[in-house]
Amino acid sequence: MTAHKSGDPTTLNRLYGRAKGKPLRAGQQALVDNLLPQIAVPLEGPVTSALLFGDDRPMHFEIGFGGGEHMAGRADMLPSHGFIGAEPFINGVAQALTHVAGDNGASPPLANVRIHHGDALEVLARIPDASLSFLYLLHPDPWPKARHAKRRMMNDGPVDMFAAKLKPGGEFRFGTDHDIYLRHALMVMQRHTDQFEWLCDKPQDFQVRPGGWPETRYETKARTVYGHEVWYFRYRRK
């Protein structure tokens, strides 16, 4: 592990936005009450493929899945892989559950998704080292003020943990539409070149959405409503 200054990476920072938004619709509340307990990540103990999925299938982990569109899209693409997502925003969890249940009509029910309603780093810490095939961090909360930079998910402590949890050859995907975050993230990743190889030969590699990277509602809005550019990064664990 690279030695860097960092805070305790497993402490959930103060939330950037709201933890709860509009009241859940009855159907969403029913999914939270009935489906979530069936597919929730256990609250303690190791988090392994065998425990969650009953076999040693490749594991994917998504930090802060928002409404869950990317996680559900990937899980639909790779039905024999296992997906774990963590999100503290209950409305996001409820939306993700509609994808898992197939209630939105966009995808069939998904048997290969497990959800944690809460801090991603708390769950990640319980995943044995060198277990993950893919790790996703898409449009993390920006915390744009310099004095809040330590609250950004992309920091040395969490990145060391990402490196530890990925298998050699595993992939870390990061996306952002926030230029301050972009600069910060590139600086952080530059300090982790002993752990990660940036899969990039030409500017298009980070300017154009790579295949197998479903767009979320958040990102569609960033592009189409706010006119933001979006940057995509793929790093291979060495």
Ligand X SMILES: C[S@@+](CC[C@H](N)C(=O)[O-])C[C@H]1O[C@@H](n2cnc3c(N)ncnc32)[C@H](O)[C@@H]1O
Binding residues for S-adenosyl-L-methionine: 62, 87, 119, 141
Q: Which is nearer to ligand X, 201 or 211 (CB)?
A: 211
Q: Is 87 an interacting residue with respect to ligand X (CB under 6 A)?
A: yes
Conformation bin of residue 114: beta by default, left when phi > 0, alpha when psi is -120 to 50: beta
Minimum separation from the CB atom of position 219 to ligand X (A): 6
Q: Is 127 an interacting residue with respect to ligand X (CB under 6 A)?
A: no
Residues flagged as binding site for substrate: 145, 177, 216-219
171: which 2 tokens?
Answer: 């992939």
Range in contact with ligand X (rule: CB under 6 A) among 24-32, 73-81, 96-104, 135-143? 135-143
Residues in CB range of 227: below 8 A, 6 or more apart: none
Q: Is 119 an interacting residue with respect to ligand X (CB under 6 A)?
A: yes
Q: Cα separation of 237 and 232, whole Å?
A: 16
Residues in CB range of 183: below 8 A, 6 or more apart: none
Q: How many residues bind ligand X (CB under 6 A)?
A: 20
**Gyration radius (Cα) of the chain, Å:** 17
Among positive and negative, which fits the CA dihedral 85, 135, 6, 125?
Answer: positive
Range in contact with ligand X (rule: CB under 6 A) among 40-48, 59-67, 99-107, 229-237? 59-67
Q: Is 92 an interacting residue with respect to ligand X (CB under 6 A)?
A: yes
Q: Cα separation of 221 and 225, whole Å?
A: 5
Q: Is 86 an interacting residue with respect to ligand X (CB under 6 A)?
A: yes
Q: Which is nearer to ligand X, 138 or 159 (CB)?
A: 138
Residues in CB range of 82: below 8 A, 6 or more apart: 49, 52, 53, 57, 58, 59, 60, 112, 114
Active site residue 201: no
Q: Is 163 an interacting residue with respect to ligand X (CB under 6 A)?
A: no
Q: Is 141 an interacting residue with respect to ligand X (CB under 6 A)?
A: yes
Footprint of ligand X on this chain (CB under 6 A)? 12, 63-66, 86-89, 92, 119-121, 138-141, 216, 218-219
Please list the active-site residues. 141
